[in-house]
Amino acid sequence: MMEQFIEIKTANPDSLLFYRMGDFYELFFDDALVASRALGITLTKRGKHLGEDIPMCGVPVHAADDYLQKLIALGHRVAVCEQIENPAEARKRGSKSVVRRDVVRLVTPGTITEEKLLAPSQANHLMALGRVRGEEALGLAWIDISTGSFLVAATAPDRLLADILRIDPRELIVAEPVFHDTEFRPAFDVLGRIVTPMPPSLFDSASAAERAARYFGLATLDGVGAFSRAELAAIGGAIAYIERTQKAERPPLMRPMRQDAANILFIDAATRGHLELLRTLSGKREGSLFNAIDRTLTGGGGRLLAERLMSPLTDPAEIGRRLDSVSFLRAERHLADAARAALKGVADMPRALARLALNRGGPRDLGALAAGMAAAAELAQVFAGSAPPEELAGALAAISALPAAFRDHLGSALADELPLLKRDGAFVRRGYDGELDEMRALRDEARRVIAAMEASLIEETGIRSLKIRHNNVLGYYIEVTANHQAAMNGNDQAKARFIHRQTMANAMRFTTTELAELETKIANAADRALAIELEVFDRLVAEAVEASEALRSGAQALAVIDVSAALALLAEEEDYCRPEVDKSLDFMVEGGRHPVVEQALRTQGGEPFVANDCDLSPEDGSHLGAIWLLTGPNMGGKSTFLRQNALIAILAQMGSHVPARAARIGIVDRLFSRVGASDDLAHGRSTFMVEMVETAAILNQAGERALVILDEIGRGTATFDGLSIAWAAVEYLHERNRCRAIFATHFHEMTALADKLERLSNVTMRVKEWEGDVVFLHEVGRGAADRSYGVQVARLAGLPDAVVARAREVLSQLEESEVSGRAGRLVDDLPLFSVAVSRAPARPAIEDPLRTAFADIDPDDLTPRQALEAIYRLKGLTAKNG
């Protein structure tokens, strides 16, 4: 057996080998050491290899999914090795022959299909990167094996990381030379362990078209689309990896479809992190924009909402079609409510279909298809007689194309209560198959006969404790306690009737001719009934796979309706407005709010969110958008204001209503955000260096249609260095990038730029001072702040009073300085901190009579009598003072 294990492990060196032995998957050698630590399971040993104990650990087959989930989350790959013959077949080759085993599947983060391992509202993409020597453009192909989606896009080296993060794959495969190419190392370092190098042969562009055509059963790929060589390399790599990991199974993938990146809002990697679209900076969904807007009811709807959020459009016509759907369902509230009622509880059709096609599905996956098609039929009735807009009308047409015959077949074939596994049986409805009903009747009738036989034997023998039991070794048997042995075989007649089978410590087991005959009938009936059910299951799965294209289209239509109804509900609940989206350079938001912060304030029972206007639209006579220079105190709400306008642009272009009273958004083709402070010490970057790298990326890429959000540029270095960098950056945005922008700063000297740059305006976060305290109004208004109120904020944060007082004193002196040289004499002008801090008055000494009495005693001068008198005197003082 260990020879077999080592042979299979040698063929899969980069995976943990789950080696099937009976009801367990066992791991040996280094695999056992790794798995025991990762899973927290007991490490044992079994046998020896080269004179040393073989480490071993195992997990039960029925609980394997839970352990796989942990291993995959930790970045491990798992090779699942199953028995591919039964023991009886192995014995034909010899009594000591080992049952044949082989790897039936490689489980990797991008190829999982198990329901337990997948988050319902998150896609699970495997992505391949294609590169052809001599070509500048790169190819990306990404597959969600759990739903069958297959998309392709071209990208460039300077936007590679942004495009990968937009798709958010669980696994990225690249050719080994590309993996080690220094040009791409920065991107791969950011992506971390999701990147897996593979042999270059998988990405051969010359054979990729033939490989893809063969996979889809086509003579040529020309009818699917015209792909570049880099895109073909990515397609070929993705398909080769699927074939390598799924072994003999073939997932039912859609044919590859190109996605035009030019029609998608470009959001760079840093901006996605700063804006916390899908996850917060700590990696949690709670607190993200997606979590705030998600009102979907189905897994497919959640995934479509996330896809739209991560890939907003730049085509006003397509955005308008999405907005029409939301507005229609918001206006027709009864239709939206009825649609959501039909969608509630609908299972995940695409993922159920994928599991069935890969022979990993069960009766409940068939039930998921039946429930989805039933919901589709109900939705068709809901919208009958209405006049939905274009997008919803297309979705309803796809729903109508679902195979009604297959839906009816599932309804008549499947029972109301379905088991998880097909081997458990009892999932075919009574009345569907006559032979099955007959076998079930015989099986169930036999159970009643067994009970009657047991009662008859008790009456015949007079043994009240007699039982007829069953196990997998003996089958049915009669069991009595040992003290009734005489009644069962005490004479020849009893011995002839009751045939001895087994003697236990406290019991004896027998059988009879009648019981053996009945057992044969029962066994045959039960086995035949299960065989019939499995045949029915296979027929239904074949029908599902045949109808897979229509089923996937119908599931996508359900997701579209779910997203539209969810966004309509969000807009109604949160009082959002429909934005105007056009090809102008306008950016006008009236009464805008931050969708995440607003909901958080409501949940915490705090003050209501203060709405603010933002207008970066071209002014009269100008054909370019405006720049706002935003000043104001810390804690005044600058970062919130910056982010909310970026989020409003994303929501508008993904096709959602937005948190504002009114909004007019001229298409933004690139969105850049530089908000917050962070370092990258692992790659030798300080906070200021990270800030400069991200700022450089913005200044090098932003164009007239871009929206740029910058916060506190230059704060990580010396004051005048930072001021000069920020000053130059604003001038560059105005003169060279010529984009719409909001630039927040504490360098109040920069407000003078408003007189120099015609498209730049000063705005500020309003505050009020009251009795030495600062009150944040969180309102944005025209004008400039003259101070940042940092000392007041420090006091609110709880700094010691002495530190706050000293800070006020130093600040006062600095503000009186007119030239930088004055600050150099600050040490002479102000007393040292240790002197300046007012000390708390010393506490007055409390007179202690006992201490005074002790101090007056000189032990060396005392006679014995004086010493005794002193003791009595001290004792009296002690009693007097307690």
Give residue 765's domain range. 580-786
d(Cα 336, Cα 430) in Å, to the nearest integer?
37
789/862: higher pLDDT:
862
Q: Is the domain of 862 the same as that of 774?
A: no
Q: Is the domain of 152 the same as that of 206?
A: yes
* Average pLDDT estimate for 823-851: 51
Into how many domains does the chain fold? 7
Q: Which two tokens stand for residue 535?
A: 């045949």
Q: Are 735 and 633 in contact (CB under 8 A)?
A: no
pLDDT of residue 857: 80
Query: How far are the Cα atoms of 69, 375, 596, 602, 795 from residue 612, in angstroms, in the given order?
Result: 45, 42, 15, 18, 27
**24-28, 231-235, 688-692: range with lowest mean pLDDT:** 688-692
pLDDT of residue 780: 92
Query: How far are the Cα atoms of 99, 151, 558, 560, 704 from residue 394, in angstroms, in the given order?
Result: 54, 21, 11, 10, 35
Is a pLDDT exceeding 80 seen at residue 428?
yes
* Average pLDDT estimate for 654-665: 97
Q: Is the domain of 601 the same as that of 524?
A: no
- In the block, which residue shows the tokens 């009903």? 437
Q: Is 479 a domain residue?
A: yes
CATH at residue 148: 3.30.420.110
**What b/e readout covers 651-679, taking b as 16+ CB neighbours within 10 angstroms?**
bbbbbbbbbbeebbbbbbbbbbbbbeeee
Q: Are 229 and 135 in contact (CB under 8 A)?
A: yes
Q: Is the domain of 816 the same as that of 754?
A: no
pLDDT of residue 683: 53
Q: Is 276 a domain residue?
A: no
Q: Which two tokens stand for residue 764?
A: 């500020």
Query: How far are the Cα atoms of 486, 491, 493 from residue 509, in angstroms, in the given order?
Result: 13, 17, 17
Beta bridge partners of 130: 139
CATH at residue 467: 1.10.1420.10
Q: Residue 587: in which H helix or E strand, if any? A: strand 587-592
**329-343, 357-371, 460-474, 824-838: range with lowest mean pLDDT:** 824-838
Q: Are 34 and 77 in contact (CB under 8 A)?
A: no
| Local confidence band at 836 (pLDDT 50, 70, 90 cut-offs) | very low
Number of Cβ within 10 Å of residue 759's Cβ equals 20
Is a pLDDT exceeding 50 seen at residue 820?
no
pLDDT of residue 97: 81
| Positions at the binding site | 632-639
* Average pLDDT estimate for 54-60: 92
Q: Would you call 461 exposed, middle or buried from its count of C-beta atoms within 10 A (0-12, 13-18, 19+)?
A: middle
| Local confidence band at 685 (pLDDT 50, 70, 90 cut-offs) | low
Is a pLDDT exceeding 70 seen at residue 739?
yes
Is a pLDDT exceeding 90 seen at residue 318?
yes
| Alpha-carbon torsion, ordered 242, 245, 250, 251, to 10 deg | -60
pLDDT of residue 485: 81
Q: Please name the residues in contact with 60: beta carbons below 8 A apart, sequence gap of 6 or more.
A: 23, 24, 25
Our CA angle for 89, 91, 97, nearest 5°, is: 110
**408-417, 588-597, 744-753: range with lowest mean pLDDT:** 744-753
Q: Are 313 and 654 in contact (CB under 8 A)?
A: yes
Q: Is the domain of 250 the same as that of 143?
A: yes
H-type helices in 633-686, by residue range? Answer: 638-654
d(Cα 48, Cα 282) in Å, to the nearest integer?
46
Is a pLDDT exceeding 80 seen at residue 848?
no
Report the amino acid identity of residue 105.
R
* Average pLDDT estimate for 788-800: 73
Q: What percent of the chain has pLDDT over 90?
A: 52
DSSP strand pairing (149-155 vs 257-258): parallel
d(Cα 109, Cα 4) in Å, to the nearest integer?
27
End of a domain among 555, 574, 593? 574
Q: Is the domain of 77 the same as that of 214?
A: no
Q: Is the domain of 103 the same as that of 119?
A: no
99-108 pLDDT per residue, tens: 889 999 899 9
Is a pLDDT exceeding 70 seen at residue 823?
no
End of a domain among 78, 107, 136? 107
Q: Please name the residues in contact with 1: beta carbons below 8 A apart, sequence gap of 6 or more.
A: 21, 98
- In the block, which residue shows the tokens 């990797």? 108
d(Cα 687, Cα 422) in Å, to the nearest integer?
57
pLDDT of residue 772: 61
Measure CA 80 to chain center.
24
End of a domain among 41, 72, 107? 107
Phi-psi region of 783 (alpha: psi -120 to 50; beta: other; left: phi over 0): left
Q: Is 429 a domain residue?
A: no
CATH at residue 80: 3.40.1170.10
d(Cα 842, Cα 741) in Å, to the nearest integer?
57
Beta bridge partners of 386: none
Q: Which two tokens stand for residue 775?
A: 């009150």
| Positions at the binding site for ATP | 632-639
- The DSSP-derived string for 77-129 is -EEEEEE-S-HHHHHTT-TTPPPPEEEEEEE-TTS---GGGS-TTS---EEEE
Q: Are 625 and 692 in contact (CB under 8 A)?
A: no
Q: Is the domain of 570 the same as that of 584?
A: no
* Average pLDDT estimate for 324-330: 97
Average pLDDT of the chain to the nearest whole number: 87
d(Cα 235, Cα 218) in Å, to the nearest integer?
15
Is a pLDDT exceeding 50 seen at residue 824?
no
Q: Is 423 a domain residue?
A: no
Helix (H, G, I), strand (E, B) or coil at 157: helix
d(Cα 814, Cα 797) in Å, to the nearest integer?
23
Q: Is the domain of 625 the same as that of 675?
A: yes
End-to-end CA distance of the chain: 85
Q: Is the domain of 604 the same as that of 746?
A: yes
189-214 pLDDT per residue, tens: 888 889 999 999 999 988 999 999 99
840/728: higher pLDDT:
728
| Local confidence band at 433 (pLDDT 50, 70, 90 cut-offs) | very high
| Local confidence band at 490 (pLDDT 50, 70, 90 cut-offs) | confident
pLDDT of residue 881: 63
Report the amino acid identity of residue 323.
L
386-397 pLDDT per residue, tens: 999 999 999 999
Long-range contacts of 539-547 (CB under 8 A, 24+ apart): 540/366, 540/409, 540/410, 540/413, 541/356, 541/357, 541/361, 541/366, 543/406, 543/409, 544/353, 544/356, 544/357, 544/366, 544/369, 544/406, 545/252, 545/353, 545/356, 545/357, 547/403, 547/406
Q: Are 633 and 790 in contact (CB under 8 A)?
A: yes
Q: Is 418 a domain residue?
A: no
The listed range with the strongest mean pLDDT (485-499, 529-543, 765-779) is 529-543
- Phi, psi angles (nearest 5°) of residue 197: -75, 140
DSSP structure class, residue 264: B
**94-98, 218-222, 501-505, 709-713: range with lowest mean pLDDT:** 94-98
Measure CA 752 to chain center.
46
- In the block, which residue shows the tokens 């009735």? 381
Q: Is 23 a domain residue?
A: yes
Q: What percent of the chain has pLDDT over 70?
A: 93
Q: Is 542 a domain residue?
A: no
pLDDT of residue 847: 62
Is a pLDDT exceeding 70 seen at residue 842?
no
H-type helices in 547-673, by residue range? Answer: 548-574, 595-604, 638-654
Length reported for the chain: 882
d(Cα 658, Cα 579) in Å, to the nearest integer?
7
Report the amino acid identity of residue 691.
E
d(Cα 414, Cα 430) in Å, to the nearest integer?
9
Q: Is the domain of 129 the same as that of 244?
A: yes
* Average pLDDT estimate for 131-149: 91
The tally of CA atoms less than 13 A away on the side-chain side of residue 291 is 16
**165-179, 232-246, 255-269, 787-801: range with lowest mean pLDDT:** 787-801
pLDDT of residue 688: 74
Measure CA 155 to chain center.
25
* Average pLDDT estimate for 567-572: 97
| Local confidence band at 429 (pLDDT 50, 70, 90 cut-offs) | very high
d(Cα 825, Cα 814) in Å, to the nearest integer?
10
Q: Would you call 94 exposed, middle or buried from its count of C-beta atoms within 10 A (0-12, 13-18, 19+)?
A: exposed
Radius of gyration of the chain (CA): 38
Long-range contacts of 787-795 (CB under 8 A, 24+ apart): 787/633, 787/748, 788/631, 788/632, 788/633, 788/634, 788/746, 788/748, 789/633, 789/634, 789/636, 790/633, 790/634, 792/633, 793/633, 793/634, 793/635
Q: Are 164 and 127 in contact (CB under 8 A)?
A: yes
Q: Are 173 and 196 in contact (CB under 8 A)?
A: yes
Report the amino acid identity of residue 882.
G
DSSP structure class, residue 582: E
pLDDT of residue 84: 85
* Average pLDDT estimate for 149-165: 92
| Local confidence band at 179 (pLDDT 50, 70, 90 cut-offs) | very high
pLDDT of residue 662: 97
Q: Which two tokens stand for residue 672?
A: 């850049």
Q: Are 416 and 379 in contact (CB under 8 A)?
A: no
Q: Is 716 a domain residue?
A: yes
Q: Which two tokens stand for residue 82?
A: 């199953």
Q: Is the domain of 570 the same as that of 586?
A: no
